[in-house]
Amino acid sequence: MNVPSLSVGLRDRYTPKIRDRIVEKLQAPTDERAYHLLTPAHLRALAATFSPDGRVLSFYLQLGPERRSRAAWHAVFSSLADHLTKAIRDRRERRLVKEELDRIEQALNDGLPELGRGVAFFTCRTTRLWQQIAVSVPLPDGAHLGSRPYIRPLARTRDEHDRFVLALLSQEHSRFFISQIGQVEEVFQIDGARPPRLLADRVALAPGGVAVAEPVKREGRVLAEAARLVMAHFEGRYLLISAPAEVRTTFLHDLAKDLQRQVADFSVEIHAGIVEVAAAAEPAQRAIEAREEVTTLERIFAAGPDEASWSERATLEVLWQRRVMTLAVDDGLYRPGARCRQCSSLWDEILPTCPTCGSAALETVDDVVELAIQQALEQRASLELVRSDAARRLMAERGAMAALLR
């Protein structure tokens, strides 16, 4: 996959022109035949897609190690495809869907994503939709047809504290990645030039009085602003950097103050592949995730019964009341239940009638937790998917679902 890049000379300073060039490259169309991480922008675009005269095909496939081995995924793919096409009575529509399934199968045969636990494809000839996304968590296998993309399972990937930007920095070559834990995608590069080591060029920068060459100082400003733009474009929450001491000093000196509070360090060789980059960043990412999860849960604990809810039943009730500001869910929690088509309330058990509105229009759902996450996102609540051992121990005291209320 071609990565957008920018070359910076020894005499180049950060200017509005350079800023515009970076923004232009970040906004350039991406290779649709490559696997991409799911970003908030991807999710918004999928949610806005509608095809009145042609169905949208959404296809989910888990890719654990056992399915990657000897193309074992193919049997699951064939079963899902056959089940979907056999249910279509119209011959023309069945043929069109089969063509889209063939496109997906060809993409999988061309290559699986190096990282991640599964893939999601969204395709529609009418709207010219084609998205192939590598997902970081295993989502249920499935093939779905409809006028809109079936994106509900993607809600489980939208953790508030799992949006990282990784910056691998050096004087000659710098690389920027977006990342979820265990998964990375390279999105931008900056090529520089090693400055001459002239004593007259050297200046002192606080803190620590670290001496650096003036060209390095100028390049540090470019790298710092590039990191800010990448963070803004991909809506990153944390910035992890791997850099030599001299480059790190100049970079942090010019990094926006609000971003400095979101910085952590890791170490990896500048030309490392994405598998090595993901592995090197993961310990720092998990430490941040655990810290933030515990902080969120402690806030909910401290809020008291009038400003927080614990247990599945109580949290589903306040979701229906649209009172949730932050939803915390154990990421391993799956629960069959029911949804009322009349009032949209959710229930963690199968019921004959809706206790809220009395309607008999209750439908059984395989996973009411998935629907709860979707409702929280639709209500613009923040989401904390709890994965760390420390946070799970806290949740064990109260329940596997909780909410901080508005």
In-domain check, residue 220: yes
In-domain check, residue 44: no
CATH number at residue 208: 3.30.420.60
Contacts of residue 131, Cβ cutoff 8 Å, sequence gap at least 6: 32, 36, 42, 46, 120, 121, 122, 123
Same domain, 167 and 283: yes
Strands 164-168 and 173-180 turn out to be antiparallel
Give the domain-ending residue among 228, 253, 287: 287
Q: How many folded domains does the chain comprise? A: 3
Same domain, 237 and 134: no
Same domain, 134 and 86: yes
Per-residue pLDDT, 274: 95
Alpha-carbon distance of 35 to 346, in angstroms, equals 34
In-domain check, residue 386: yes
In-domain check, residue 38: no
Residue range of the domain that includes 59: 50-148
Structure tokens at 96: 């069109």
Per-residue pLDDT, 209: 52
Same domain, 144 and 164: no
Same domain, 75 and 141: yes
Give the domain-ending residue among 103, 125, 148: 148
CATH number at residue 365: 3.30.1330.30
In-domain check, residue 154: no
Alpha-carbon distance of 141 to 104, in angstroms, equals 14
In-domain check, residue 34: no
**Global pTM?**
0.88
In-domain check, residue 314: yes
Give the domain-ending residue among 254, 287, 320: 287
Same domain, 249 and 360: no
In-domain check, residue 136: yes
Same domain, 97 and 191: no
Same domain, 283 and 175: yes
Per-residue pLDDT, 152: 86
Same domain, 73 and 104: yes
Per-residue pLDDT, 219: 85
- Comparing CA positions, the residue from 80, 143, 83, 71 lying closest to residue 108 is 71
Low-confidence residues of the chain, pLDDT below 70?
A: 1, 10, 193-213, 215
Same domain, 74 and 180: no
Contacts of residue 321, Cβ cutoff 8 Å, sequence gap at least 6: none
Same domain, 95 and 165: no
Per-residue pLDDT, 53: 77
Same domain, 184 and 272: yes
Per-residue pLDDT, 296: 93
Structure tokens at 219: 């390049």
